[in-house]
Amino acid sequence: MEYIKLGDSGITVSRLAFGCEQLGGYAWGDIDLQETCRAVEEAVDCGINFFDTSDTYGPHESEKNLARALGSQRKNVVISSKFGVRLRDDKTAYYDSSPAWLDRALEGSLRRLGTDYIDLYFVHYPDGFTPLEDTIHALDSKVAEGKIRCYGISNVTPAQFSHWRHSSCSAIQLEYSLANRSNESHLHEISRSSIASPMVYGVLGQGILTGRYRSDTTFAQNDRRRHERYVNFHGDKLTRNIQIAQKLQNMGTIIQHTASQIAVRWVLDTLPRSIAIAGIKRRDQLHDLRMSLGWNLSTEELVEISEF
Ligand SMILES: NC(=O)c1ccc[n+]([C@@H]2O[C@H](COP(=O)([O-])OP(=O)(O)OC[C@H]3O[C@@H](n4cnc5c(N)ncnc54)[C@H](OP(=O)(O)O)[C@@H]3O)[C@@H](O)[C@H]2O)c1
């Protein structure tokens, strides 16, 4: 296992975080949630101590299922959750990072997680109108109250992050993978100039980098990836991603790792201060992904993949 400090919080986390959106059971196809809960239990047994959820995953179900799966292990692990995505009655989403909503959302998450503190609490998306200093002040107050141990920000532009740079922000969550490198320079800049830990999601490109999918793959009605906004699975991007996955599989036969393991390792080695969050549905996926840890890609291999 590989561990790293989370920002300057003093909290130690595994460099592979268990992504719990799938544990919410919503829009990732048919999921056997009992099996996902077993994967959570086994992750703890094998040293993964970092679990990433949100009030909006499910919604609410991921936090409840995580609490059930962790049971008495809660005190031995680090939980990140998020607030700031709200649903209207018609189920359309909007963002709210106001202190008033933070107050209510945090109480809800604490209740569902069955805990009296959340280790790392994220603003899921800045709402674009609450002054950032108001949100930061409210988060600092929650740290002082002991309800959260530290906080982070997710899905921010470089300009928005410049406001957070001088806060006690411990982590920043952005999407990054071989299938989506649009945040690459932003993440390198954060790594260089901020104490916040880069936490990267979508490291498997929502599954496409595992080599499991083909150009004629179709997804079930209840799987988000059938929609065009999941760009990794559509059009030219799909064609390109299949080539990348094939490249990883070819390299994998030489270096004795799966495409998924190389995709995760590439992120961890490209951003040495980072944590990779991978969405896990089953124990076999956990068994595969834990083998992303404890080794490195050589400089030549990193260049070969990065420049492919
Ligand atoms: N901050 C944010 O706004 C934000 C946004 C998105 C996600 N996240 C967090 O990041 C986590 C991960 O992101 P993500 O789930 O979107 O994408 P991801 O980790 O790139 O992909 C997850 C998908 O890959 C497949 N997979 C996982 N392990 C595999 C393995 N070993 N072999 C083959 N396939 C495997 C699974 O789907 P199939 O088996 O169905 O292919 C799984 O649902 C989420 O759970 C969540 O905690 C945060």
CA dihedral (236, 239, 242, 247) positive or negative: negative
> Quick check: 164 pLDDT over 90?
no
* Residues 297/267, Cβ–Cβ less than 8 Å: no
Tokens 């031995």 label which residue?
Answer: 76
Nearest-CA residue for ligand 1 atom 21 is 206
> Quick check: 167 pLDDT over 90?
no
Q: How many residues does the chain have?
A: 308
What is the token pair recorded at 249?
Answer: 């599989």
- Ligand 1, closest atom to CA 289? 31
Give the CATH number for residue 12.
Answer: 3.20.20.100
Residues having CB closer than 6 A to ligand 1 are 19-22, 28-29, 52, 124, 154-155, 173, 201-207, 210, 212, 260, 277-281, 285, 288-289
- Measured in angstroms, how far is the CA atom of residue 77 from the centroid of ligand 1? 20
DSSP state string for 10-33: TEEEESEEEE-SGGGTSSBSS--H
Residue type, position 279, single letter: G
What is the token pair recorded at 142?
Answer: 């929650």
pLDDT band at 166 (very low <50, low <70, confident <90, very high): confident
Spatial distance between the Cα atoms of 228 and 238, rounded to a whole number of angstroms: 11
- Tell me whether strands 3-6 and 11-14 are parallel, antiparallel or unpaired: antiparallel
**Per DSSP, what are the bridge partners of residue 278?**
18
Is the whole-model pTM more than 0.85? yes
Percent of the chain with pLDDT over 90: 96
* Residues 290/276, Cβ–Cβ less than 8 Å: no
Q: How many domains does the chain have?
A: 1
Q: Which domain holds residue 115?
A: 3-306
Average pLDDT, the chain: 97
pLDDT tens by residue, 31-90: 999 999 999 999 999 999 999 999 999 999 999 999 999 999 999 999 999 999 999 999
- Angle at 34 (CA atoms; ends 69, 201), nearest 5 degrees: 70
Spatial distance between the Cα atoms of 140 and 257, rounded to a whole number of angstroms: 43
Tokens 């495409």 label which residue?
Answer: 259
> Quick check: 153 pLDDT over 90?
yes
- Ligand 1, closest atom to CA 203? 20
Spatial distance between the Cα atoms of 65 and 37, rounded to a whole number of angstroms: 7
Nearest-CA residue for ligand 1 atom 30 is 285
